[in-house]
Amino acid sequence: MKNPLETWKGAVTLGVILTVILWLIAGAMS
């Protein structure tokens, strides 16, 4: 599988996924 960081679109997609995960974690911790 190609590294998603090869393209800026892959990096942005990973960034959005990471945002949702961290948002849930931050919510659980608050």
Contact residues: another protein, CB under 8 A = 3, 5-6, 8, 11-12, 14-16, 18-19, 22-24, 26-30
Q: Which is nearer to another protein, 1 or 29 (CB)?
A: 29
The span from the CA of 4 to the CA of 12, in Å, is 9
| CA gap 19, 30 in Å, rounded | 16
Smaller CB separation from another protein, 1 or 28: 28
The residue count for the chain:
30
Q: In angstroms, give the least distance from the CB of 1 to another protein.
A: 15
